[in-house]
Amino acid sequence: MAVSIDTVYQKVLALANKEQRGYITPQEFNLFADMAQKEIFEQYFYDINQWSRQLGNNTSHSDMLTSLEEKVSLFEHTAIQDNVTVLNKWGDVNLKDDIPNLYRLMNVSVNYPPPATKGYKEAELINNRQEFLLLSSSKLTKHSVERPVYLRYYNNYDRIKIYPYPVEDDGSDFDLSTNEFANDYIQVKSIDHPGQYNVTGHYFWFDQQEMIDMLGDDFTHNDIINISTTNSTGDVNKISNHLAIIWTIDSSNSVNGHAHGRLHSLQPPHHDGTTVDFAIGDRIFLSTPKVLSNKRNVRVDYIRKPKTPNWAYVVVNEKALFNSNNAIDFELHPSEENELIYKILKFAGISLQKQDITQAGQGLENAQIQQEKQ
């Protein structure tokens, strides 16, 4: 759902009677459009505060609070994976760096390493340092891994500090490294080439998801890694630091109808396919550091800022023609189209120094607000 920026522009030009009162350039319109969208978006939160103190009705499509929450929900982002970086062992997180389009914070969830907790725990916002010290002074209200808390601080409150610290140990040896050696293993599902080539032992096939989980997202096709292997029970070491190339980890290849990943051996005796040391069920360990994301243990749900609208254009015969390929529509709910037009018309009247346009835009806007709040 979106509001077409071209539709709004053409209606504004028509209402302003551009031939008589003056032309609103695309640059001016884009500035006014951004201002109008921001005004409407910010007003949502004041209106929600107002309507939440009043009785609603049982008809969801005409209940004002429900309608406002629906409009805001277009900008809500619910984290499905860790999305912010813990900067140090004291639980500091810089929201501005990790979420540059952050508008308002919703929920902060923390995953403490086992056996401390199982799964993510939602952290409670503490409004100020004094409140934090007061709650921390009592065993009944002090934060814990079962009831984490966080404080907002710094310029524009763009940082948070989480208690207890969301680190992988007690904080005394906090490691910000993004590399680790995978102790997990994957097991060989097949050693036969699926095509016509007799290169048994040349390719080693694995369950695709298991392979991706062990290697991580940063490994891609044609990357070279070191692997070590044992037999299927793990009690006999077979090969150490064996070079292999990741041939594919996508789902376009399959073995017996199932999507698999595969490694391609780069070292003899397997490269020529004459000697087979790999067997189905062998355990393959990664002896190359696995690249980790530095975003781990914390998830943040938030409301993002609307994208800046842009009426893009190309100049043909000295005229600006709409370029839909580069345009950015308003991200507001379709019901906001008229209010966008009225606000932009009001701003344009001020710019053109046409009081009648300003008054017309303000009057139309006031009429719509009055209708919504009756």
pLDDT at 58 (0 to 100): 64
Distances (CA, A) of 161 to 108, 125, 126, 154: 11, 10, 10, 10
Residue located via tokens 């719509």 = 368
Mean pLDDT, the chain, whole residue set? 80
Confidence band, pLDDT 50/70/90 cuts, at residue 357:
low
**Which amino acid, one-letter code, is at 127?**
N
Distances (CA, A) of 357 to 133, 341, 352, 354, 365: 55, 12, 9, 6, 12
Query: For residue 42, which of 14, 75, 9 has the smallest C-alpha distance?
Result: 75
pLDDT at 202 (0 to 100): 59
157-175: average pLDDT: 72
Determine the Cα–Cα distance for residues 244 and 264; give it in Å rounded to an integer: 5
Using the predicted structure, report yes or no on whether residue 150 has a pLDDT greater than 60. yes
Confidence band, pLDDT 50/70/90 cuts, at residue 176:
low
* Ranges of each domain in the chain: 5-75+323-372, 79-178+296-304, 182-288
Q: Which of 123-132, 212-221, 258-267 has the highest mean predicted lDDT (pLDDT)?
A: 123-132
**Are 112 and 139 contacting, i.e. CB atoms less than 8 angstroms apart?**
no
**Are 32 and 349 contacting, i.e. CB atoms less than 8 angstroms apart?**
no
Determine the Cα–Cα distance for residues 124 and 234; give it in Å rounded to an integer: 45
What count of Cα atoms within 13 Å lies in the side-chain half-sphere of residue 298? 30
Summarised one tens digit per residue, pLDDT across range 84-97 is: 888 887 888 889 88
CA dihedral 96, 97, 102, 103 (to 10 degrees): 20
Q: What is the 3-state secondary structure (H, E, C) of the chain?
A: CCECHHHHHHHHHHHHCHHHHCCCCHHHHHHHHHHHHHHHHHHHHHHHHHHCCCCCCCCHHHCHHHHHHHHHHCCEECCCCCCCCECCCCCEEEHHHHCCCEEEEEEEEECCCCCCCCCCEEEEEECCHHHHHHHHCCCCCCCCCCCCEEEEECHHHCEEEEECCCCCCCCCCCCCCCEECCCCEEECCECCCCCCCCCCCCEEEEEHHHHHHHHCCCCCCCCEEEEEEECCCCCCEEEEEEEEEEEECCCCCEECCEEEEEEEECCCCCCCCCCCCCCCCCEEEECCCEECCCCCCEEEEEEECCCCCECCEEEECCEEEECCCCCECECCCHHHHHHHHHHHHHHHHHHHCCHHHHHHHHHHHHHHHHHHCC
**Are 332 and 41 contacting, i.e. CB atoms less than 8 angstroms apart?**
yes
28-48: average pLDDT: 93
Summarised one tens digit per residue, pLDDT across range 40-56 is: 999 999 989 888 887 76
**Are 298 and 92 contacting, i.e. CB atoms less than 8 angstroms apart?**
no
The phi-psi region of residue 234 (left if phi > 0; otherwise alpha if psi is between -120 and 50; otherwise beta) is left
79-83: average pLDDT: 88
**Are 196 and 205 contacting, i.e. CB atoms less than 8 angstroms apart?**
no
Region of poorest pLDDT, from 8-22, 54-68, 312-326, 350-364: 350-364
pLDDT at 75 (0 to 100): 94
Peptide bond into 309 cis (omega under 30): no
